[in-house]
Structure 1
Amino acid sequence: MNKRIVVLGAGESGAGAAVLAKVKGFDVFVSDMSLIKDTYKALLNKYEIEWEDGRHSIEKILNADEIIKSPGIPDTAPVIREIQKEGIPIISEIEFAGRYTHAKMICITGSNGKTTTTLLTYHILKNAGLNVGLAGNVGKSLALQVATENFDYYVIELSSFQLDNMYKFKADIAVLLNITPDHLDRYGYDMQNYINAKFRITQNQTPNDAFIYWNDDPIITKELKAHDLKARLYPFSEEKEEGVKAYTENNQIVIDAPNDTLTITEDDLALQGRHNLYNSMAASISAKVLDIKKEDIREGLKDFKGVEHRLEKVARVRGVEFINDSKATNVNSCWYALESMRTKVILILGGKDKGNDYSEIEELVKEKVNAIICLGVDNSKLHAFFEGKVPHIEDASSMKEAVDKAFACAQKGETVLLSPCCASFDLFKSYEDRGEQFKECVRNL
């Protein structure tokens, strides 16, 4: 009898995992508590995969030999509790896909900057002529690509949720950009649980593999001592320090990688701002470890187009700049956004709070922000923290209201910044939906 695989959740990750399982000859069943999008229904139907949506038929799930869980489903979900009681193994789509490919895996995680670094790394590798796929939190499902394509390399953005159910998977190159509090609601409000999830990116690495990380992150440097890492270490830092493999000096990025040194002037980088220096360093080291030519790396760093919803310039209206940073779903992301601002700011904040500590941005807010527009169902925590720290603070219950109020507050030469610090699910479908609505409202001004 064929081994039975049940896939929970039929988004990009789940639908892709189901196709790979089917192609590999498993008996496959897909179950999603929400309604499955038409595109994914069509994909499942094309491969003649049985599916259900709007419910979980528990008897059809509990007869699985193995369960592939979409990253968005928390361990506290009743269906997961039932599966755990039965002792059925639960893995992630990435773990499953890794079993069926010998491609080199370049894996990137961090609380912030991972999408930008993933897309930049992919851009450099692709432009250098490598046969490379883009997967994980961006791009197409890794499992679907393993089932239907034939890449030699994959650049994969991994969230802590994806790392949680990865066990034997190995990153040939692992990148850890930073660790700051995020998603604590999913980790029992225990920071160490979240840190442990992030460090799973280094598991199973051998002396032939590379681990690239930010040397000045206090959490990472403390954790390094607790982990017996086998991989070659490639720390990067803003300043030249002992042992670091990338740093800035005389307005240049310097990459001291194996056999060679690469330099590029900071002004030549497509991505500006301090945090983007780190993203550029991490991507450059990855490329150097893969022996990509210096000219190709420089070229990729110069002509990369940024990431949508991440410090994305939308328009200038009557001298007021509007910037969409909807992807800033935690406080540290907003810190980076404010840190890169060169004008006074009208800040649009708020959404579903994940246990945020706003003291991290307090000084930058006092220094740069003239007004805060709170855009959320419940803004009481924002008012409690920021009242009296900015000249003006008010509420909005829709994106149009938020943009109109921000524009009314803004003086010529100032910037309206949407950098919410929070998840979007109280008023919007996703951070993308929130960013699209922002752009639409700005264009209608």
Structure 2
Amino acid sequence: MTLPPLTPFEEAHWDNDRRPSLYVSLSILLVLNNLVAGGRLVANYFFHYRHSGFKFRHIFIEDLFMLLSAGFVDVVIGNLLAATRYGLGLHSWRVVAEDPHYPRNLSNAFKHVWIVMVLTGPTFTFIKLTLLYFYRRLFLVNQKWLKVAWWGNVIYVLLWFFGASGFYIFQCWPVQWYYMRYYSRYHVPPPYSIEGQCNATTVIHVAIPLIFGIVSDVAILLLPLVTISQLRMARKTKFGLVGVFSIGVIACALDMARIIELTTDTDDKVDPSYGVVIFLALSAATEVTAITCACLPVIVPAMLKVYKSHQGQEYPYGLDYSGRTSGGTSVYHRRSHAFAPLDETRLKTTIYGGGKPNHAATHSREIDKDNIPLANVAQAGSLDALQNGSQEDRTTSIECDGTAQIWVERQIEIKSAEEQSM
């Protein structure tokens, strides 16, 4: 069948081409996605897995969800690159005019777009579950409201997954009519006999799952921020943690931007191969940004731990070498570097020098009924006295609020009270 001649408008916009921008942006997103996901796994390996024997039962469940998330995002970006090869980013009339077997290329392009839409539900679900299980391990202790909020988020995310996936799969019936309808549009016999309808593909219908999705995005973002605001810690530490976890605001902003783009500037009817490009690019960017936001709270503390360990300083953002925040649960096993903190609960520890000691420095740490650590430190004489084992008794008692730590070099022998009695 002969195509109708181009209109003056179509001739004037023939050279419009968004493919170079798509190739560059999607390639960058692909590299970034694998970089941050791999960085998270490497950080957890060095600070946890290699010390636990790297057994499957020791793997954090959120890391499994992160692997699924990153894998799905790779598939999404791969399908967008394939759709670009078939003409996504060009005006529909140019795609058809340059295709000797039209509208095969246009149909193939939107076959890949359909796959991208179908993967929207599971991709964002895995990302959200990654964040939720990370927060659960990091913050949830005995606070009832946190458990209720966490379970509420999990149930909402799972319900959203089934609703969004069902809509994107069955927005046309039969489902393959989503990309086979272009044969009917150009009055060309399809490869096989098929008829259908796509009454649910309007931009308003497509936006509904995204709007419900952003509700859970905001709820998940607020969960750690509210928790951190209630922790008893130094203001600098609290601001540092808030800064790390607030990067999720970027993902929420991109999510809102793609909803606005979809409802105001997306043409999926007259010129779909050109009109949906920005929306699809924003969708991929939102997914990669969400993965980045899920990985940085692990990568940034790990990098700072390494840096601070080389500097001989304490890590300032509330995550110590055991990976805990004040009021949180254990994240990483403690491993000594140049210096290691002496921070054992209800353990009285004696620090000896090189010879037989006559004097000792003791550190005891107890938990009061209000959950505030109480610490008492008694230091015997000078460091020379500890090393030589002889000096008159000059014991000084110091009371502190429980935030102080004793840092000892690794070559100093550390014995517990039980070891002394043996």
User: Which category describes the TM-score, using the shorter chain as reference length?
Assistant: under 0.3
Larger-Rg structure: 2
| Structure holding more helix per residue | 2
| Structure holding more strand per residue | 1
TM-score by length of 2: 0.20
TM-score by length of 1: 0.19
Greater relative CO, 1 or 2 (CA 8 Å, sep 6+): 2
